Amino acid sequence: MADYQLYYWPSIQGRGEFVRLTLEEAGADYVDVARMPEEEGGGAGAVMSMLRDHQGGTAPFAPPVLQHGSLRLAQTATICRYLAERHHLVPRDQPGRLHCDQLALTLADLVNEAHDVHHPVGVGFYYEDQKEEARRRAAFFRDQRIGKFFSYFERVVDENPASGGWLVGSERTYVDLSLFQVITGIEYAFPTSFARTAPDHPGLIALRDRVAALPRIAAYLRSERRIPFNANGIFRHYQELDA
């Protein structure tokens, strides 16, 4: 049995992708449970069952969920931090770790905003039933939010005293992996807006490329374990929402 079992929807990157990237860069022994065939206990049903299973404590509110022995963890940032501390994907010093954590949560805020562009009225309605609201929110997100967040993270890289092109300290951390995911997700969803803003953020583009070139991440991105971006995830490309 693998060390870790990840429970997340099998057909999207979604929030689970932040965990997958952390597990991959850690070189961890894990199973992406729902991506196994249904006859082997996989499929979306495996996620649903886990969310109903109260054994050993309250079932989590939502996936992604990581099972590690008897420990069952939910919430993307909590899971990533836990893995990162075990697998040397955080700095050794406490201020560095805390800095990573706050950046991870700032990225989570951006991820929420990117999601809400196509679901401003809530996840209870289809995109088709909130297209007009989405158009208004998309304009605001494109024109004001992407640039504001990107400029912030660009500054963090730029002002990192270790000056190695990473967010915190002199080595890659789990937050660099998460930032890679956010940058590529926004590029996928808003290609026109992204092309316009990218030249202002050379540090982020370099960081994205540096993460993609990490041997384990590069192997993962080439593998079938990496689910392509698609129209059901957090980052969705709708032509009418890109400028």
Interface residues with its own copies (CB under 8 A)?
54, 57-58, 60-62, 71, 73-75, 77-78, 81-82, 95, 98-99, 101-102, 105-106, 109, 112-113, 116, 120-122, 124-125, 130, 133, 136-137, 140-141, 144-145, 149, 152, 155-156, 159
| Paired tokens of 208 | 């994205």
Rounded least distance, CB 206 to its own copies, Å: 17
In single-letter form, the type of residue at position 186 comes to I
Comparison of 78 and 230: residue with beta carbon closer to its own copies = 78
Please give the Cα distance from 236 to 201 (Å, whole number): 22
Distance CA 40, CA 35 (A): 10
When the beta carbons of 128 and 224 are compared against its own copies, the nearer one is 128
Nearest approach, Cβ of residue 153 and its own copies (Å):
9
CB of 79 to its own copies, least distance (A): 8
Long-range contacts for 148-151 (Cβ within 8 Å, ≥24 apart)?
149/106, 149/110, 150/197, 150/200, 150/201, 150/204, 151/200, 151/201
Beta carbon nearer to its own copies, 41 or 164: 164
Provide the residue type at 182 as one letter: V
Shortest Cβ 58–its own copies spacing (Å) = 5
Identify which of residues 136 and 216 has a Cβ nearer to its own copies in the complex. Answer: 136
Residue closer to its own copies, measured from CB, 145 or 210: 145
36 vs 151, beta carbon nearer its own copies: 151
Tokens of 66: 């990581």
Nearest distance from residue 110's CB to its own copies, in Å?
9
Minimum gap (Å) between residue 103 Cβ and its own copies: 8
Tokens of 199: 């030249």
CB-count burial class (<10 Å; 0-12, 13-18, 19+) for 196: middle
Strand order in the sheet with 30-32: 30-32, 4-7, 65-68, 71-74
Please list, in sequence order, all residues whose beta carbon lies within 8 angstroms of the beta carbon of residue 240, skipping any fewer than 6 positions away: 131, 135
Give min distance, CB of 139 to its own copies, in A.
Answer: 9
Nearer to its own copies, 33 or 156 (CB): 156
Structure-derived torsion over alpha carbons of residues 128, 131, 132, 133, reported in degrees to the nearest 10: 110
